[in-house]
Amino acid sequence: MRRVSMATRDELVAVTAERYARAGRRERGLILDGFTAVTGFHRRHATRLLRSGLPRIGGGPRPGRRVYGEAVRETLVVLWEASDRVCGKRLRPLVPVLVEAMERNGHLQLAPEVRVSLLAMSAATMDRALRQARDGAGGRRRRRAAPSAAVRRSVPVRTFSDWGDPAPGYVEADLVAHSGPTAKGSFVQTLVLTDIATGWTECAPLLVREQGLLVEVLGELRKRMPFALLGFDTDNDIVFMNETVRDYCTAAGVEFTRCRPYRKNDQAWVEQKNGAVVRRIVGYRRLEGLEAAAALAQLYGAVRLFVNFFQPSFKLAEKAREGAKVRKRYHPPATPYQRLVADPRTGEEVRLRVMALHATLDPVELLRAIRAMQQRLVEIADRPVAGERAKPTAPSLEAFLTGLRTAWQEGEVRPTARPKETARRLRRRPDPFAAVTAQLEAWFMAEPWRTSRELLERLQAEQPGSHPAGLLRTLQRRVKTWRRGEAHRLVFGTATTEEAMKGDAAMGSRL
């Protein structure tokens, strides 16, 4: 039975007292029965309240309730400091030992009443008494449970060994971040769903990490999947552990489970697809913004058909441990489409629908579309570099098919797997010695032993105020290039202009 609050009881006392005062003896007994049944008060206590008609006085500290005085609290602070600031549960059994040791060594002298109070104090009371001292000392506050903790407790845990042999429709889900080398700012993420029975994989981009958007994308993926979604297993990320996702699964009749924290093997199915599908096809570049999310969604439209219909994969059948060795046996490689069609639990309507879709697919056309959209993603991610060049056009199907015969000679053909080009640093400001370079070089050739400072001082004497002393480092780099060319001439008889030009270019790139 749910107990009513004290405020509700006070209101009942105020309302019922008037009826109780006007009622007769028999009616008072009935009123008293109903009042005690609702409030839970003892009958004698309820009688006193209804006779007086005064509700209890609530709020504020109750007088006479403080048992431990200021002397006890000050002594407790001393003991707490002497114990190296341990918590109340650890301090409570230590107090008798600590008091005896400190009194024996002359560090503490307690009055009998203070000693009795300290020994009688509970651990919770010690923590309350030390709260002000602990806060003032900058102690660590008690960690509050995350908002998702209650949801996490309500979602059952499913481990890797708990799957058994589920029917098609029980999936593992995870998010793959496309943040590049840094996780700062906002970037696109991929929601990956992997079916346990067949290995069927669905991917969709998320513009931001937000639970409402995740539920919408999950609803769209359910429409694409050839079978009904029966189970939804995730990790303990807060984007999954919230009321929005839990209530969505409850309303849709989907079994919502989670893995154990920090146990990636509980989600081995989807973790494998994170690397074999998402990272292998999309790569590790940073993707952000609407344009990147739209291009990624278009890419996944072709990827889902190519992976699920034309990419065989292994599936673990059983594993056994023999001492320190684990022996694994796998089913023959098969595509998710083949496993779905061969599964006896697949409905006839689903089987006919996926077979009709398979008959219309061209794997070479899908692969060509994937390569073209991969190149588009690279252009979006590397725009500061790729924007300077003309955008390549996708080859025709005939040209792409012809290129497949010799593509192996070019090495890596996936644009997203190629390293990002390094931007060249060009000159960012004008050359301060552009007008006097020939003159400075003539001075140097006439007197190669002169230092850069002497050349700059001579230039300042001839052109006062035109070349400040702060340009010395720039002139030193240029003189270094000239000196290297002069040394080459003295050793080999000629000074190559190519080396000097390279030196000038290297020096100019630093400006």
Is residue 498's pLDDT more than 50? Answer: no
Under DSSP, the state recorded for 156 is P
Q: pLDDT, tens digit, for every residue of 203-216? A: 999 998 999 999 99
Q: Which CATH number fits domain 167-359: 3.20.20.70, 1.10.3210.10, 3.40.250.10, 3.30.420.10?
A: 3.30.420.10
Which residues lie closer than 8 Å to 280 by C-beta, 6 or more apart? 414, 417
**In contact, 303 and 370? CB cutoff 8 Å:** yes
CA distances from 80 to 90, 91, 139 (A): 10, 7, 13
Return the closest-CA partner of residue 246 out of 177, 166, 143, 147.
147
Q: Which of 182-196, 254-268, 388-402, 468-482 has the weakest average pLDDT?
A: 388-402
Is residue 13's pLDDT more than 90? Answer: no
Scanning the structure block, which residue is given the tokens 């190669």? 448
Q: pLDDT, tens digit, for every residue of 419-455? A: 776 666 666 678 888 888 998 889 988 888 888 899 9
φ/ψ of residue 257, rounded to 5: -135, 170
Return the closest-CA partner of residue 236 out of 262, 208, 210.
262
In this structure, the number of other CB atoms found within 10 A of the CB of residue 224 comes to: 12
Report the pLDDT value the prediction gives residue 246, as an integer from 0 to 100. 94
In this structure, the number of other CB atoms found within 10 A of the CB of residue 209 comes to: 15
State the virtual CA torsion across 215, 219, 221, 225 in degrees, nearest 10: 140
Tell me the two tokens of residue 246.
């839990």
φ/ψ of residue 287, rounded to 5: -120, 125
The b/e string for 36-46 (b: 16+ C-beta within 10 A; e otherwise) is beebebeeeeb
Q: pLDDT, tens digit, for every residue of 254-273? A: 999 999 998 888 999 999 99
Tell me the two tokens of residue 240.
């999954």
- In angstroms, how far is CA 399 from the centroid of its own chain? 42
Q: pLDDT, tens digit, for every residue of 350-396? A: 999 999 999 999 998 999 999 999 999 999 988 764 444 445 567 77
The helices-and-strands tally (H runs, E runs) of the chain is: 23, 7
DSSP three-state, residue 270? helix
**In contact, 304 and 224? CB cutoff 8 Å:** yes
State the virtual CA torsion across 58, 64, 67, 70 in degrees, nearest 10: 100
Total length of the chain: 511
Mean pLDDT value across residues 213-228: 94
Report the pLDDT value the prediction gives residue 50, as an integer from 0 to 100. 85
**Greatest pairwise CA separation for the chain in angstroms:** 132
DSSP three-state, residue 189? strand
Distance CA 454, CA 450 (A): 6
Sign of the CA dihedral with 383 first, then 387, 393, and 399 last: negative
Amino acid at 219: G
The b/e string for 54-76 (b: 16+ C-beta within 10 A; e otherwise) is ebeeeeeeeeeeeebeeebbebb
Tell me the two tokens of residue 183.
């996780």
Scanning the structure block, which residue is given the tokens 């969709």? 204
Return the closest-CA partner of residue 224 out of 193, 196, 188.
193
Report the pLDDT value the prediction gives residue 273, as an integer from 0 to 100. 94
Q: pLDDT, tens digit, for every residue of 73-105? A: 899 988 888 888 888 899 999 999 988 898 888
Q: pLDDT, tens digit, for every residue of 155-180? A: 999 998 888 889 999 999 999 999 98
**In contact, 96 and 119? CB cutoff 8 Å:** yes
In this structure, the number of other CB atoms found within 10 A of the CB of residue 145 comes to: 9
State the virtual CA torsion across 396, 400, 402, 406 in degrees, nearest 10: 150
Scanning the structure block, which residue is given the tokens 């481990």? 159
Q: pLDDT, tens digit, for every residue of 228-246? A: 999 999 999 999 999 999 9
Is residue 494's pLDDT more than 60? Answer: no
